[in-house]
Each structure stands twice: as C-alpha cells, then as structure tokens.
C-alpha cells in the first residue's frame, strides 16, 4: 500500500488504530458481533493521517472505504485483532483502540452448520483477551488511547477504564437508544489523568478532527 505523509504535528510518528466490530464464530455461517460501524475509528485514522502521522488501521468487518493514505489490515476475531495489534504496535508511538471488541467468544465453534432441534439451546462462552490492556503491558512507552461506549455513568465508567487499563487518554460516548452506533454524528467526553474535555455533538469527521488535535496536544505534553 502506498502511503503519503502530510506535514503536521504528528509528522514522523506511526499511529496504529483498531476499528469496527469483531466477529466470533458460532459455526461456519453464524457469528456473535455488535453494532459498531467503524465510522469513528476510520474518521480518526483520516484525521491522524492529515496531521502528518503514518497510520495503520486494523479493522474488523465494515462497509467503509479505506481512508486515503492509510494502510489497512483486515481481521475478524478478537484473537486476530490481538495478534496484529501486538505486532504492529512494535514500531508505533501512538495506539488507539477504537474497535468494539467482543468481550466473549464461543468456546468450541462447530465445524459444520448447527442443525436445529426441539430442545432449547445454549452456547458456552469464554472471555476474550483485552487487546488494549495487552498492548499497554507489552509497550510501556506507547501513548495509548481507548474508547468507552456507555449507557450509564459515563465519566465514572470511563475513568475506571482509563485507570484499570493504564491508558493515557480515553474518549467516551453515550450509546444505545439510537445514539452513536452507525450514525454520522457523535459527541465525546475525553478524560486523561490530569483533565478532561467535552467535544460536543458534531459530524464524526468534525469530532475526529478535534480528537486528533487533542491527541497531538496530549502526546506533545506527555511526561
Ligand atoms: N477493548 C479491548 N479488548 C477487549 C475489550 C475492550 O481492547 N477485549 C478496548 C476497546 O477497544 C476500548 C476499551 O477497551 O478502547 C474499552 O472498551 P469497552 O468495551 O468500553 O470496555 P470493557 O473493558 O470491555 O468493559 P465493559 O464492556 O464491561 O464496559
Ligand atoms: Ca466491552
């Protein structure tokens, strides 16, 4: 993939982003996934590229075109996402986890299509690895930005994730009841150890430009 580099505050830096949903197979024709469209992550990839970064997007299944000048790696499961994230973050300075990673996977996906019968059915699930926490642990010097999608107690839950996952910054948005997922606009509350900023309702492209600028600012101010 040919990449072009803009001039800007992130020139010379490599930013790796995850975006979109993951898919966890049940059998060859079925999977568990979520409502993430990937739009926010893709818009942020374009914004970081415009700020001068070399950008690699690790993407779950979406219907979106790859932003101009951005390199893209396609993945399906959380396990794939983890493997590529650990690999690609090795030469990155900024890692952004915008993917909606499935928290659970099916223990034993069936090799053949599951046939129905009259009994009730249940699926045994196991916890997936936490990708962003694993990346942080492997690369302590990386500037790591997470996202949080919440239906309640936004600031409390987002700050909890910031601390637990040892992130440098977290961007939180309200979801559910028609908000954020698969829409073209969004609002974000961004938190870091020493502060916070509100990015009010706007198109995902406009929000991504503001968030990109804030990431560049906080990256520049890091200890
Ligand atoms: N994340 C991750 N790997 C997972 C789950 C989440 O890397 N297995 C990342 C997301 O990409 C996001 C951040 O962690 O940057 C927060 O995701 P979220 O789903 O809001 O948090 P969880 O820790 O999974 O907590 P919960 O879903 O219970 O609220
Ligand atoms: Ca989750």
Ligand nearest to the CA of 136: 1
Q: 82-104: per-residue pLDDT in tens?
A: 999 999 999 999 999 999 999 99
Query: Which letter does DSSP use for residue 90 in this model?
Result: G
Q: Which of 146, 149, 174 to mutate to test the pocket of ligand 1 (most atoms within 8 A of CB)?
A: 146
What's the average model confidence in pLDDT over 116-136? 97
Whether the predicted pLDDT of 16 surpasses 80: yes
pLDDT attached to residue 219: 97
What's the complex ipTM?
0.99
63 neighbors 19 (Cβ within 8 angstroms): no
User: At residue 199, what are phi and psi to the nearest 5 degrees?
Assistant: -110, 100
Whether the predicted pLDDT of 113 surpasses 80: yes
Ligand nearest to the CA of 101: 1
Q: 163-188: per-residue pLDDT in tens?
A: 999 999 999 998 876 666 667 888 99
What's the average model confidence in pLDDT over 203-213? 95
pLDDT attached to residue 96: 98
Host H or E run for residue 198: strand 195-203
Whether the predicted pLDDT of 152 surpasses 70: yes
| Residue 128 is among the residues annotated as catalytic for this protein | no
What's the average model confidence in pLDDT over 23-52? 96
Q: Which residues are annotated as a binding site for CTP?
A: 103, 113, 129-132, 147, 161, 165
What's the average model confidence in pLDDT over 178-207? 88
List ligand 1's pocket residues with C-beta within 6 A.
78, 97, 99, 101, 103, 128, 130-132, 146-149, 161
CA dihedral 211, 14, 139, 166 (to 10 degrees): 0
| Candidate list 34, 128, 173, 186, residue with the active-site label | 34
Whether the predicted pLDDT of 134 surpasses 90: yes
Closest CA to 54 of 38, 37, 67, 63: 67
40 CA distance to ligand 2 middle (Å): 16
Going by CA atoms, what residue is nearest to atom 8 of ligand 1? 130
21 CA distance to ligand 2 middle (Å): 11
Ligand 1: atom nearest CA of 103 is 8
Whether the predicted pLDDT of 2 surpasses 60: no
């Amino acid at each position: 993939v040919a990449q072009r580099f803009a001039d800007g505050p992130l020139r010379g830096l490599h930013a790796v982003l995850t975006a979109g949903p993951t898919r966890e197979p049940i059998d060859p024709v079925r999977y568990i996934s979520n409502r993430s469209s990937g739009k926010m992550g893709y818009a942020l990839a374009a914004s970081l590229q415009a700020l001068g970064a070399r950008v690699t997007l690790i993407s779950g299944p979406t219907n979106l075109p790859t932003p101009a000048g951005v390199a893209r790696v396609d993945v399906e499961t959380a396990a794939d996402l983890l493997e590529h994230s650990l690999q690609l973050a090795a030469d990155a300075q900024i890692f952004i986890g915008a993917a909606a990673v499935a928290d659970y996977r099916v223990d034993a996906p069936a090799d053949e299509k599951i046939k129905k019968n009259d009994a009730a059915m249940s699926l045994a699930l196991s916890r997936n690895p936490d990708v962003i926490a694993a990346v942080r642990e492997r690369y302590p010097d990386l500037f790591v930005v997470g996202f949080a999608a919440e239906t309640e107690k936004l600031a409390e839950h987002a700050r909890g994730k910031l601390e637990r996952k040892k992130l440098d910054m977290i961007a939180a948005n309200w979801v559910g009841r028609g908000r954020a997922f698969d829409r073209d606009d969004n609002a974000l509350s961004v938190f870091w150890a020493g502060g916070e900023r509100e990015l009010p309702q706007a198109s995902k492209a406009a929000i991504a430009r503001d968030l990109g600028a804030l990431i560049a600012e906080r990256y520049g101010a890091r200890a």
